[in-house]
């Protein structure tokens, strides 16, 4: 079946019905917070990143894409204007409801897609909860992990600016057909140095860092420069614009992730043949060596 659209809210229910009857059963559910990132980065960057990756994967694997879920935990960025944060419990409950509803309709492969932290934590809770309740695997992808793959990292290795969410956000919007100009273009082209303060005020930076090294502690940002103002965009490098490079990064990310869908298929099929059962002792630990 040739689809004119793959984003669920742009399709008719008849198109979805025919997709399922034709054997389609794959849907990606991107999610991310509305969270502040300073002067250069859109409030919805994490969800845009997840949706752009989902869109690329859906085109390669004959899947559909659920519209981005923004009812998500935003964490330390809630101090930025425009940010709206939900609890992890609320986020997980929303994702579970969407995933179970889609699965009941015939989407046997439901893939949750996050951009990065902090929303991934709630996504992990949702994926684990769904499995414990249904014994059906629901896969969670964290888009940021692809950036560490050698084939992806090689694309931006040596970039003279600061590669990160500034570029990823603009590239994601281009992939989604909602491209926007670079905010503050002159400033955005200038590589940013370390201001020496980090992401917390100087009086408490060392203390917060020490606590986070051993686990986690609640914190928030206090200045715009603490989060999001360090990236660059609009730099021409290797005879092309860095936003074009970031689009290639996302495309290569999708290529790297795609083979794992086969593992997802095999794991799901194996679980169907091996229903839940309590573990029984099989090794004779009392036997002589």
Q: pLDDT by residue (tens digit) across 139-175?
A: 999 999 999 999 999 999 999 999 999 999 999 999 9
Q: pLDDT by residue (tens digit) across 181-206?
A: 999 999 999 987 766 668 899 999 99
Q: Is residue 288 part of a domain?
A: no
Q: Is residue 241 part of a domain?
A: yes
Helical pair 45-61 and 165-175, crossing angle rounded to 10 deg: 50
**Is the separation of the CB atoms in 63 and 257 below 8 Å?**
no
Q: Is the pLDDT of residue 112 over 90?
A: yes
Q: What is the CATH number of the domain that holds 99?
A: 3.40.50.10310
Residues 219 and 242 in one domain: no
Q: Minimal CA–CA distance to 34: which of 73, 91, 89, 90?
A: 73
Please count the structural domains in the chain: 2
Q: Is residue 173 part of a domain?
A: yes
Residues 163 and 209 in one domain: no
Q: Is residue 243 part of a domain?
A: yes
Mean pLDDT of 214-229: 91
Strands (E), 56-176: 64-65, 109-114, 139-142
DSSP states of 185-233: HHHHTSPP---SSTTS-HHHHHHHHHHHHTS-------SGGGSSTT---
Residues 63 and 149 in one domain: yes
CA dist 218 → 32, 42, 191, 211, 251 (Å):
19, 24, 30, 10, 35
Containing structural domain, residue 219? 199-228
Residues 221 and 245 in one domain: no
Residues 63 and 188 in one domain: yes
Q: Is residue 161 part of a domain?
A: yes
Q: pLDDT by residue (tens digit) across 236-267?
A: 999 999 999 999 999 999 999 999 999 999 99
Task: Determine the pLDDT at residue 1.
Answer: 66
Residues 78 and 211 in one domain: no
Q: Is residue 129 part of a domain?
A: yes
CA dist 13 → 9, 22, 30 (Å):
9, 14, 20
Task: Determine the pLDDT at residue 195.
Answer: 60
Residues 155 and 79 in one domain: yes
């Amino acid at each position: 079946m040739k689809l004119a659209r793959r984003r669920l809210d742009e399709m008719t229910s008849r198109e979805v019905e025919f997709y399922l009857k034709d054997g389609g059963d794959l849907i990606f559910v991107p999610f991310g917070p509305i969270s502040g990132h300073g002067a250069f980065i859109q409030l919805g960057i994490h969800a845009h990143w997840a949706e752009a990756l989902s869109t690329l994967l859906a085109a390669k694997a004959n899947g559909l894409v659920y519209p981005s879920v923004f009812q998500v935990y935003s964490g330390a960025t809630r101090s930025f204007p425009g940010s709206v944060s939900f609890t992890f419990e609320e986020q997980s409950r929303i994702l579970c409801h969407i995933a179970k509803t889609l699965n009941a309709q015939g989407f046997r492969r439901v893939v949750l897609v996050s951009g990065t932290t902090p929303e991934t934590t709630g996504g992990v809770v949702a994926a684990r909860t769904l499995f414990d309740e249904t014994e059906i695997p629901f896969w969670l992808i964290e888009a940021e992990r692809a950036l560490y793959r050698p084939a992806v990292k090689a694309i931006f290795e040596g970039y003279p600016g600061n590669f990160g969410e500034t570029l990823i956000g603009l590239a994601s919007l281009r992939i989604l057909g909602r491209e926007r100009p670079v905010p503050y273009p002159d400033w955005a082209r200038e590589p940013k140095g370390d201001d020496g303060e980090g992401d917390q005020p100087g009086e408490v930076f060392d203390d917060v860092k020490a606590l986070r090294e051993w686990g986690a502690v609640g914190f928030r940002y206090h200045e715009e420069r603490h989060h999001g103002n360090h990236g660059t965009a609009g730099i021409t490098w290797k005879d092309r614009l860095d936003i074009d490079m970031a689009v290639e990064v996302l495309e290569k990310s999708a290529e790297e992730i795609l083979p794992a869908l086969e593992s997802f298929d095999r794991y799901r099929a194996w679980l169907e043949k091996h229903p839940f059962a309590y573990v029984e002792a099989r090794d004779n630990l009392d036997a002589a060596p």
